[in-house]
Amino acid sequence: MSDVDSYPVVLEDLTKEFGDLVAVDSASFNIFEGEFFGLLGPNGAGKTTLINMLIGLATPTSGTAYVYGNDITKEYRKVHSRIGFAPSEGNFDREYNTMENLEYHAGYFGVSREERERRAEKYLNMFDLWDKRDKKTYQLSTGMKTKLLFARALMSEPDILILDEPTSGLDVETRKKVHTYLEELDRTILLTTHQIEEAEKLCDRVAIMNDGEILAVEPPEKLKRKGGTDVVEISLEERIDQVPEFLSREEFQTSLVDGGTKIRTVAPDGNEIAAEVSERLFRSGLEVKSIDIEKSSLEDIFLRLTERED
């Protein structure tokens, strides 16, 4: 598929089966250095299973993946040293306070005591938790626990940060703050989410996953252009009785609305079709009053790709 040393993460036909259930089916894609990569899919799509294979919590049935050229099935220790992982729910030690939890975690990676303290202070300040450093983790709000998960994942100074549904259950305001923190991190990031607006806001590229399969891997904007259907409405100064002949072709999907005072057409690229139609209407002697374009969204593409037959 590719040179495994050229990318931080390379998946090659990564597959995981649980009996007759194929949780991840031949997943293949690359993640670029410094990229914010999203794994978008509904609950049960196989996102968490895929992540569990990358971080060593599940063994692939077939295929494999590489992290900085290290095979996840054969060089787990090297892989683990490059990854910082934040699960969807906290699993903190209740006996330790916030700062101690971070320092304890860093100890697993052989970080010196002095360096642990420095990093803990750095990341608690980064996520606005310094004033909570002496609090037990059960005393923190849900949003604070989420930020602490990010801080803990960064304590090993990983090259890749993997986030599994990091904002699930957060209120809108806290989610926005968390998005701001993530956008400012200078890391290669792999994010799993079922929230379309989150993927569209944060990610450079998105892999859409459903029923264990990777259905598409593209930047959000390219996905929308590639598979979208924009709706263009052109208001006319006068009523017409039929669609102009040049718009009657099947590919335009055109109709008259509002008593013939508007032309509605559907196309992959609304801007392009609006310009062409306006020019042709002008040449045919019809005056255009206004043009409205309703752009397709990532949600439209997501629903179309993940639509299941009953």
Same domain, yes or no: 20 and 71: yes
Residues 16 and 44 in one domain: yes
pLDDT in tens, the chain (310 residues): 458 888 999 999 999 999 999 999 999 999 999 999 999 988 889 999 999 999 999 999 999 999 999 999 999 889 999 999 998 877 888 889 999 999 999 998 999 999 999 999 999 998 899 999 999 999 999 889 989 999 999 999 999 999 998 887 778 888 888 888 888 888 899 999 888 888 888 999 999 999 999 998 988 877 766 655 677 888 888 888 877 776 665 556 777 888 888 888 776 667 777 787 778 777 877 888 888 877 666 777 777 777 754 3
**What is the per-residue burial (b if ≥16 Cβ within 10 Å, else e) of 18-54?**
eeeebbbbebbbbbeeebbbbbbbeeebbbbbbbbbb
For residue 128 the two structure tokens come to: 């606005």
Tell me 168's DSSP state.
T
Is residue 99 located within the same domain as residue 232?
no
Residue keyed to tokens 């360096």:
115
Final residue before a domain boundary, out of 184, 218, 252: 218
Asked whether residue 244 falls in the same domain as residue 172, the answer is no
**CATH code, 157:** 3.40.50.300
Three-class secondary structure of residue 92 per DSSP = coil
188 plus 233 within the same structural domain: no
Strand partners, 234: 263, 291
DSSP assignment string, 218-268: E-HHHHHHHH--EEEEEEESS--SS--GGG-SGGG-EEEEGGGTEEEEEES
Same domain, 210 and 235: no
Could you say which of 185, 200, 218 is where a domain stops? Answer: 218
**Residue carrying structure tokens 């306006």:** 278
Distances in whole angstroms, Cα of residue 255 to Cα of each of 5, 228, 300 = 53, 19, 21
Number of domains in the chain: 2
What pLDDT is recorded for position 251?
A: 56
β-strands 288-294, 262-267 pairing: unpaired
Is residue 76 domain-shared with residue 171, that is, in the same domain?
yes
Q: How far is CA 280 from the centre of its chain?
A: 40
The domain of 290 spans 228-296
Same domain (yes/no): 146, 174: yes
Q: Is residue 307 assigned to a domain?
A: no
What was the pLDDT predicted at 310? Answer: 36
For the entire predicted model, the pTM comes to: 0.75
Contacts of 242 (CB under 8 A, 6+ apart): 256
User: Of 170, 186, 218, which residue sits at a domain end?
Assistant: 218
For residue 83, which of 94, 99, 70 has the smallest C-alpha distance? Answer: 70
Rounded Cα distance, 196 and 228, in Å: 15
Pairing verdict, β 188-193 and 160-164 = parallel
